[in-house]
Copies of this chain bind each other. A is one copy, B any other.
Amino acid sequence: MNNDANRLIVQEVAPRDGLQIEPVWVPTEDKIALVDGLSQAGFTRIEAGSFVSPKAIPALRDGDEVFRRIVRKDGVTYVALIPNLKGAERALLAGADELNMVMSASQTHNRANMRMSCEASLAGFSDIVALGRRPGVDVSLNATIATAFGCPFEGRVDEDRVLAIVDAYLRLGVDGITLADTTGMANPRQVARLVRRVLAVLPAAALTLHFHNTRGLGLVNVVAAYEVGARRFDAALGGLGGCPFAPGASGNICTEDLVNLCDETGIETGIDLPQLLALSRKLPALLGHEVPGQLAKAGRNCDLHPIPAALHAAA
């Protein structure tokens, strides 16, 4: 493979998946500064906000303003999460480059998360795709399969069902598909098996993996997926996000921990790790709590420690 084929693309999701569960209000200015900082750090894909009901997710009620006021950088795709046609219309007006629709593989989780059956979700996506393909509308369309590796209510999720949803998404005509391990239930063997099956029907450039670190396996699953050909991964600065069913457990895989893994193993991401660390280290003050990411606390391998003074004296 050439370098481009080995490249790992990180889609930064902290502004959306990270901030959505934070109890504090992050001012619009700070959200814009975060997205702009991420653009400067070298990301090519940023999920910058969502267009859901402000009642459902008040933390992201300023999505329109964020999208309008961020500094667009050439080559960066700014993604908006949308729950329905109304959200899609708002996201298009605000200038989103890509719309991300979400449905769970598990009926129970979809009812809990989206308040409708999977069939109703798919019917709604059909309207959104029709909107996105209208003449004069220039937007990319991504569809996510949440709980693709397990459901916190139902447990195991049948892999054939996930493949059937991939097929349904492709028939709808989306440009990309995300397999999401919404509550961190995936393991590396399962990931390798399912990703292989999905890559048989979808090119790697159109597949995103979204892992949570709920049970400490987030980066293990990234490596497993990468080794069988996946190349695009969601991650959140500081490891923000999380699962309301596992308080205290980690959220999304941490972007700077992932980029460090790539840097150390010679996998190109195009992302500047020192810039990323500087952004991450602002999060505790912004959010009022420590964040799960490890690298911002530990530093990079090359950030060496001074030799203890006692040894100098003894030498």
Contact = CB atoms under 8 A, between A and B. Distances in A.
Interface string A286-312: 000010011101110110111110010
A308 B190 CA distance: 27
A20 interface: no
A250 B294 contact: yes
A214 B189 CA distance: 24
A298 to B, nearest CB: 4
Interface in A209-260: 213-217, 219-220, 223-224, 243, 245-250, 254, 257, 260
Nearest to A300: B215
A250 to B, nearest CB: 6
A307 B150 contact: no
A315 to B, nearest CB: 8
A249 B301 contact: no
Interface size class of A (residues with CB under 8 A): 35 or more
A293 B214 CA distance: 10
A294 B292 CA distance: 11
A297 B108 contact: no
A213 B152 CA distance: 26
Interface stretch (A30-38, A167-175, A180-188): A180-188
A266 interface: yes
A138 interface: no
Contacts of A299: 246
Nearest to A150: B301
